[in-house]
Amino acid sequence: MSLDFLVPLKLQVTTRNKRIRLGFKVVAVTGTAGKTTTKEMIASILRLSRTVKSTPGNLNLPVHVRQIIEAATLGDTTLVLELGMARPGQISQSSYMAAPNVAIVTNVNRGHVEKCGSMAGVILAKSEIIRGMGAGSVLIINADDHGSQLLRLEGFQGRIIKYGKAPETNYRIVKCETQGLETTFVVHAESEQRTLTIPIAGEHNAHNATAAVAATRVLGCSWSDIECGLTKFSRLRGRLTPYGGINNSVVLDDSFNANPLSVVAGLKTLKAAAGGRTAIAVLGNMEEQGPKWPIIHMQLGREVAAIRVDRLITVGEKAAYIARGAESAGMLKEKIHAFVTRAGAIELLQKLLDSNTMVLVKGSHSAGLSQVVKAIICM
C-alpha cells in the first residue's frame, strides 16, 4: 500500500477499538509547522512520570499512526502522536483511529495548499483533527496564528485552550528572549508565572514549548517535570540543529523542510541567535505552494530584507524568486547570490564562512540542502 493512500475503513475501526480497549491516553499534534518539535517536547516531559510511545521522526501519515497504535501494549500509558497529511482526509482518519484525549494545532499556513487547492482547503484539512475527539477531550490552539482562528470546529464538544502572546489566552507568553542557541521565556498560567528554558533558539520554539506545557498540564504533569523535561528535550536532525562549521563558523541545519511560516521563523531565529555575527541565510525551493509559488517566494524575499539578514544565498529555480523579492525590498544586490545548483552555493560558503558568521540552511526536503550542510560543517 502506498503511504499516500487512505487506510481502509475496516482497519480504521479495528485500530480505534484497540486504542479504546487498552485505555491509554493519547496526545495528538498537527499543524503546518512545529509538529515534530512540539511532539518531542511533550514526550520528553511525559517520560519523567510515565511510559510513553511516540511517533518516530515525522512518520505521521495514517498508516504510521495505525502502526504505532497497533504496536502499543498495556504497559504504554500514553501515546504522543504526530498527525500529518499528504492530502485532505488523512488527518481525519488518524484522529478517528487515535481518539485523542488532547490535541494541538500548532498553526495553519500555506503548507499543502497545492494538494488542498486553497488556503480554505488547508484550514478544512487541519480542522479534521476534531473527528476522533470526544466530549471530555481538550483542543489546544495557537492564539497568535490567524489560520488557527479560522478552524472549523462545529460539533466539537470538548474544551478549548489557547496559548500565545495574545491577551486572554490560558497559557500566555509574557516575555521571551533568545541568547545564542537557548531560549528563555515566561508563561503566565493558572494565576502564576513560570520561567522556562529550552535548549533551542527562536520565539516560535517558545510557542511550541508553551503548547507542550498546556498539553502536559492537562495530563497532570507537575511544573518540576515540565521544567526538567524541556531542558532535556532533544531536537531531531535538520530542525534548527546547530553544528560547528568550517573556519569556526556556526551552522543552523533546518534543511528538513520549509514553508513560508517556518522559513520566516527560522530567519528571525538566525538574526536573534547570531548576535554580533554576520547572519547568512541559505534558502532553497519551497514546494507545495500551488500556482502562486512565484509570488509566495518573492514575498519571502521581502521578509528576508525586512528581517535584515546580512547575506542571502538561494538554491534552485523557485528560490531565485526569493532573491528577486529581497532585492526589490532594498537588500543590496552584492549581498544576494542566486544559484541554480547546490555546488555554487557550497563554493561561495566555503569562502565566506569564518568565526564571525552564523548560517541558516533551510528549504523543502526535495531541495536537498542537507548536502550543503554536510559540505560546510566539521564532522
Both 328 and 363 in one domain: the answer is yes
User: Averaged over 134-142, what is the pLDDT?
Assistant: 97
Query: In terms of DSSP H, where are the helices of the chain?
Result: 9-22, 35-46, 62-71, 90-98, 113-116, 119-127, 203-218, 223-232, 260-274, 293-307, 320-328, 342-352, 370-376
Q: What is the pLDDT of residues 290-299, one digit of tens each?
A: 889 999 999 9
Q: Which residue has the cell 489566552?
A: 169
Both 192 and 274 in one domain: the answer is no
Residue 151 lies in a domain: yes
DSSP state of 246: G
pLDDT score recorded for residue 299: 96
- Domain end: 190, 205, 232, which one? 232
Both 150 and 194 in one domain: the answer is yes
Both 253 and 324 in one domain: the answer is yes
CATH of the domain at 283: 3.90.190.20
Residue 333 lies in a domain: yes
The three cell numbers of residue 298 are: 518573492
DSSP state of 8: P
**3-state class of 307 per DSSP?**
helix
- Domain end: 208, 232, 256, which one? 232
- Domain end: 206, 232, 258, which one? 232
Both 269 and 247 in one domain: the answer is yes
SS3 percent helix, strand, coil of the chain, rounded to 5, is: 40, 25, 35
Residue 2 lies in a domain: no
pLDDT score recorded for residue 378: 85
User: Is the pLDDT assigned to residue 1 strictly greater than 80?
Assistant: no
The three cell numbers of residue 217 are: 498540564
DSSP state of 85: -
How far apart are alpha carbons 40 and 46 in whole angstroms?
Answer: 10
Residue 1 lies in a domain: no
How far apart are alpha carbons 84 and 256 in whole angstroms?
Answer: 15
Both 255 and 169 in one domain: the answer is no
Both 216 and 181 in one domain: the answer is yes
Residue 4 lies in a domain: no
Residue 359 lies in a domain: yes
Residue 315 lies in a domain: yes
Q: Which domain holds residue 141?
A: 9-232
How far apart are alpha carbons 189 and 78 in whole angstroms?
Answer: 24
* Neighbouring residues of 222: CB distance < 8 A, sequence distance ≥ 6: 49
Both 197 and 246 in one domain: the answer is no
CATH of the domain at 116: 3.40.1190.10
Give the pLDDT band (50/70/90) at residue 5. low
pLDDT score recorded for residue 296: 94
Q: What is the pLDDT of residues 161-208, one digit of tens each?
A: 999 999 989 999 999 998 888 999 999 998 999 999 999 988 999 999
Residue 2, number of CB atoms within 10 A of its CB? 8
Both 300 and 216 in one domain: the answer is no
The answer to whether the predicted template modeling score (pTM) of the entire model surpasses 0.75 is yes
How far apart are alpha carbons 257 and 154 in whole angstroms?
Answer: 32
Give the pLDDT band (50/70/90) at residue 375. very high
Both 167 and 251 in one domain: the answer is no
Both 280 and 251 in one domain: the answer is yes
- What is the domain count for the chain? 2
How far apart are alpha carbons 335 and 133 in whole angstroms?
Answer: 50
pLDDT score recorded for residue 4: 55
Both 24 and 166 in one domain: the answer is yes
Give the pLDDT band (50/70/90) at residue 240. confident
